[in-house]
Chain A
Amino acid sequence: MNTHTFSLCQTELTAFPSGALLDAAAGALCVSDLHLGKSDRIARYNGPLLPPYEVRETLDRLSADIATAQPTTVICLGDSFDDMAGRTSLDESCTTLLMQMQAGRRWIWIEGNHDPGPLDLGGSHLREVTIGALTYRHIAEPDARGEVSGHYHPKVTLPGTGSARACFAFDEARCILPAYGAYTGGMSVHTPALRGLLASEAQVILTGRRALLAPLASNAVARSGPQRRGLRGRSG
């Protein structure tokens, strides 16, 4: 299996190479920052017309993870939609796919800063949810323990490997998820805002073909690549 399993507050968690997180005992699968409808929003605001396949790509990925993990609960950890109008960019096939994924399981939309209100897409809409020892919310709170959050889109570059990869970042108190959406950028785990939330012995799990564990503090990892000057969106 290409996943990596670690524990957070006595809860065993499995990081998928796609960026999803599974609490197998509770049957809960969590993904963060899908940013569905991002290309649509950029077009609406007179930006470039990006390849309009990112909703399909993101949902296909999620569907594959659900097929593997067979969760009873799916938690979308906020910023599931790029803005409140993002709903309109879901065509019928995407809506159908979403409904198929929701069938027979609990589906929770956690609200994020991009999508603060409920949408007509089934599932329940919550500020945060606690399952066992863990609390799931969009933005990490500084003194929380047993917290799973998203928002920051962490990424890291290992020495000698060239490009940055989206990653999980965790320590004894919390786990911050990578962005799951296809058109989401990343922020270096060494950015003060992100680094300040994590203990010095924190570790990262890289996404990609395999989920790979690496220390965060190492000097070598500390030179995470600079931000690419590619497409810019609103920050998370």
Chain B
Amino acid sequence: MTALPPAFDTWFAARGWSLHPHQQAMLDRARAPALLLIAPTGGGKTLAGFLPSLAELADGTHKGLHTLYVSPLKALAADIRRNLTTPVDEMGLPIRIEDRTGDTSYTQKRRQRADPPHILLTTPESLALLTSYEDAPRIFAGLQRVIIDEIHALSESKRGDQLLLALSRLQSLAPGLRRVGLSATVEDPAAIAHQLACHPDPCAILHADPGPDPDISMLITDERPPWSGGGAAYAIPAVLAEVKRHKTTLIFHNTRAQAEIFFHNLWLANDEDLPIGIHHGSLDREQRTRVEAAMVAGQLRAIVCTGSLDLGIDWGDVDLVIQVGAPKNVKRLIQRIGRANHRYNAPSKALLVPANRFEIVECVAALEAAKAHDLDGDPKGDGPRDVLCQHILIRACAGPFDATTLFKEVRSVGAYANLSRAAFDDCLEFCATGGYALRAYDRWQRLKETDGLWHLRDPRAAQRIRMNIGTIQDTDTLKVRLKGNFKPLGEVEEAFAATLTPGDTFLIGGQIVRYEGLRELTVEVSRDASRKPKIATFMGTKFATSTQLSSRILRMFRQDSWPELPDHTAEWLSLQRKVSQLPEADRILVESFPYDGRHHAVFYGFAGRNAQQTLGLLLTQRMEELGLNPLGFVATDYATLVWGLNPLTDPAPLFQADDLRAGFDKWLQGNAVMKRTFRASATIAGLIERNLPQARKSGRQATFSSDILYDTLLKYDPDHLMMRITREEAFRGLVDFGRIEEMIARTVGHIDHVVLTRPSPLSAPLFLEMGRVPIAGEGRERLVEEAAARLLADAGISTD
């Protein structure tokens, strides 16, 4: 057992604290090259990560940077610095601790490079930027340990890939570097360990005591939940009652839009003026900081929030977590619940609030999964190549490099362990010349090879590359501010702003505002006294229900009765079984019926929202070919509803896997989802710059959309690296064709077609679902023509 220096024991003893077993284990194994700690929220995870560093630094002999701490949130880095500085000061340890994020001042950053602290707390993006400097070898020369906090969150995104690529660089600069990962409870710790270690080194995994099971249940209200929608407005009184009963409540929502609506409704019903705040990623930073400060000071009784509060910042005394809307994913649910009773060995208390009838089924399934510790998650694919392209450019900023050495370094990253030399050379070629079939940039190559070393053609290019480091895809957003007021209220998505007409009212930061107009790149609004916003709210990403949760729901459907469900929901399912049938895992259920003068067909695929959406696009395309004249469709996590002019008599030909796949390839090319995916990857790979030196703010910028680049490549260079990356990304991302394939594989052509005279009970909510998609193609052209004709008619102009 490794003992701590005496100063630590005294300090711990003075507080009546003792080390948790996993904290001691971390000390004992401090020399391991890679170590992953799995611990629940509140388990003293961060201290466990830092203890070995503090112990090693206690004697004051280490010069320069010793430990690098990386977290996904800037706020977390600042928070940890405060929490760590207190014991270090009180023990009188000679340790300098500083954070470095996008918010750190220029002078501070310069000084940190010249004279690094012992412990530097940072984010993946700031670290990538640090490695791009020519003096990186000097900064990191003495580095001993790197601690990656919340590695489970990072490992799910490209930020994790970027971070681990940066680590491979650090490992070359500081060969003795030891890696530590801190993770919340996850379904596959070995996968994260594989990512963390310097491949092929092993990585030991330590499990902290998971603590008692959470006290988690579904909120039952007198009011029945509605058939569809995600607002859960019916539950407001019950939620308010819970808030009154507890000290501090976190109310989680799946989207920012739902959080806004719920917060607004909560305030309308908040007769006692309980202090309740709102916190989500679209709000202005200043507003968020204010809410965070009030929360820490214990001034708030509740916070309505989204994933922006998911990560482990210490919020003080939360004693209840409410999840509004089905959690979609059991792992996220567990991690959120962990936010309550942020004390070790006390069960956290949580309530699920289903937003509609179907979500009751989903919530019950999620509760069972949580009790059974059955976590879900999809295996992560190989390291994305767009991130690799950015890594190569960053490496070039730091100075000349040898391609083979860099290739070996990249292969030491778990996610890139299978990268072929050819694939690496493709990326290098893309960075150097653009990688086009038409070799146009021989004179203006970005990277050139001289005497076997690759370097920037023009060193001034480094500035532009550094300005565009990062893999976070901010959807294009516009600032919202009150007319005549400089301070922004928050941001809305550009696509949402484009749907606004002057006079429209919407919600932001809990207040109703009226859209006045666009001024340069800002949405100008005024306050509006009305009680109901006209436009629902801005969009937000919707999570798809996980595969594991979907199959749990399908298993529930096989039961004879459902005593675990509220009566109204159980009756609903029984009625469905009587008039039609319940969907099964190994068969696809298709219902068709007339309604409102159109023929409708429902396809129950249980493949998640993204895949059901893709399925809708593919099915309508096949139906178009078969002359069924589909007019539109709408998709949820479990089904797709298609309507059209002709009845569907035989669904079997629609599901021929080969046809579906061929249609998929053709459809994919011109698809908006592809263009969006292309934009994301092209931005990461450095083909599109988000930030330019001296970016102009006037509306006179001649911008053109990335769609044009996509169309150009599709026409002249369809096999270009960026196009190949886009196809791969879309396949597992927004398009989610993988889950359609999974659905086809599990149902192997077993299709049950039920012909009805009216909508079935299970299909009814689909008619109320938002997000109907009209069939694209010539239809879109017709839309533009009709709109133009209408406007001309309104203006009294004849079209002849």
Contact = CB atoms under 8 A, between A and B. Distances in A.
Interface of A: 39-40, 43-44, 46-54, 56-57, 89, 91, 153, 157-163, 179, 182-188, 191, 193, 203, 206, 208-210, 212-215, 217-223, 225-236
Given A153-B702, A210-B785, A212-B784, A226 B712 contact: no
Count chain B CB atoms within 10 A of each CB in A39, A48, A223, A233 and give the residue with the most.
A48
A188 to B, nearest CB: 7
B83 to A, nearest CB: 37
Interface of B: 433-434, 436, 438, 440-441, 444-446, 457-458, 460-461, 464, 476, 478, 494-495, 497-498, 500-502, 517-518, 521, 679, 686-690, 692, 695-696, 698-709, 712-713, 715-717, 720, 780-781, 783-785, 787-788, 791-792, 794-795, 797, 799
Given A185-B704, A235-B702, A227 B441 contact: no
B441 A158 contact: no
Count chain B CB atoms within 10 A of each CB in A56, A188, A191, A230 and give the residue with the most.
A230
A4 to B, nearest CB: 10
B694 to A, nearest CB: 10
B787 A159 contact: yes
A232 B703 contact: yes
Given A214-B791, A217-B795, A225 B436 contact: no
Given A50-B687, A51-B720, A52-B440, A220 B702 contact: no
B795 A222 contact: no
B715 A50 contact: no
Contacts of A91: 440
A232 B794 contact: no
Given A40-B444, A54-B712, A217-B795, A206 B784 contact: yes
A215 B797 contact: yes
Contacts of A159: 501, 787, 791
A218 B444 contact: no
A109 B248 CA distance: 71
Nearest to B703: A185
B185 to A, nearest CB: 38
Q: Which 9 residue pairs of A and B lie closest in terms of their CB atoms, listed nearest first?
A: A49-B434, A52-B440, A185-B704, A46-B461, A43-B444, A185-B703, A185-B702, A53-B716, A215-B795
A204 to B, nearest CB: 9
15 contacts: A43-B446, A49-B446, A56-B716, A158-B784, A160-B783, A187-B699, A214-B787, A218-B795, A219-B502, A222-B517, A225-B498, A226-B497, A226-B521, A230-B703, A232-B703
Nearest to B720: A51
Nearest to B700: A235
A35 B695 CA distance: 21
Given A48-B686, A48-B689, A228-B704, A162 B498 contact: yes
A229 B476 contact: yes
Nearest to B696: A235
Contact of A51 (B458, B461, B709, B781): B709
Given A52-B434, A218-B795, A226 B498 contact: yes
A210 B782 CA distance: 11
B705 A230 contact: yes
A236 B698 CA distance: 13
B788 A157 contact: no
A214 B792 contact: yes
A228 B706 CA distance: 9
Nearest to B468: A48
Count chain A CB atoms within 10 A of each CB in B445, B686, B704, B715 and give the residue with the most.
B704
B464 A47 contact: yes
A209 B781 contact: yes
A46 B712 contact: no
Contact of A161 (B518, B695, B716, B783): B783
Contacts, number: 193
A226 B703 CA distance: 11
B787 A160 contact: yes
A47 B438 CA distance: 18
B518 A49 contact: no
Contacts of B716: 51, 53, 56-57
Given A43-B441, A51-B434, A225-B494, A161 B787 contact: yes
Given A185-B704, A212-B784, A223 B498 contact: yes
Contact of B436 (A52, A160, A161, A222): A52
A213 B788 contact: yes
Nearest to A205: B788
Given A43-B444, A210-B785, A214-B787, 5 more contacts: A53-B715, A160-B783, A187-B702, A228-B476, A231-B706
Given A43-B441, A206-B784, A212-B785, A185 B701 contact: yes
Count chain A CB atoms within 10 A of each CB in B436, B702, B794 and give the residue with the most.
B702
Contacts of A186: 702-704
Contacts of A179: 702
Contacts of A220: 501, 791
A227 B520 CA distance: 9
B712 A51 contact: yes
B788 to A, nearest CB: 4
Count chain A CB atoms within 10 A of each CB in B440, B441, B799 and give the residue with the most.
B440
B708 A182 contact: yes
Contact of A182 (B446, B461, B712): B712
A50 B434 contact: yes
A184 B461 contact: no
A52 B690 CA distance: 20
Contacts of B792: 213-215
Contact of A193 (B700, B715, B783, B788): B700
Count chain A CB atoms within 10 A of each CB in B434, B457, B701 and give the residue with the most.
B701
A218 B791 contact: yes
Count chain A CB atoms within 10 A of each CB in B436, B679, B795 and give the residue with the most.
B795
Nearest to B497: A226
A162 B478 CA distance: 16
A202 to B, nearest CB: 11
B131 to A, nearest CB: 20
Contacts of A188: 699
Nearest to A44: B444
A231 B788 contact: no
Contacts of B438: 52-53
Contacts of A44: 444
B502 A223 contact: yes
B502 A222 contact: yes
Contacts of A232: 689, 692, 695-696, 701-703
B702 A49 contact: no
Contact of A218 (B433, B708, B717, B794): B794
A235 B704 CA distance: 11
A52 B787 contact: no
Contacts of B689: 47-48, 231-232
Count chain B CB atoms within 10 A of each CB in A212, A219, A223 and give the residue with the most.
A223
A46 B788 contact: no
A49 B687 contact: yes
A50 B791 contact: no
A93 B500 CA distance: 47
B791 A221 contact: yes
A52 B442 CA distance: 12
A227 to B, nearest CB: 5
B458 A46 contact: yes
Contacts of B690: 229
Nearest to A201: B795
Contacts of B702: 153, 179, 184-187, 232-236
B160 to A, nearest CB: 25
A218 B785 CA distance: 16
Contacts of B785: 210, 212
B711 to A, nearest CB: 9
Nearest to B460: A46
Contacts of B440: 39-40, 52, 89, 91
A183 B705 CA distance: 9
B784 A208 contact: yes
Nearest to A183: B704
Nearest to B717: A51
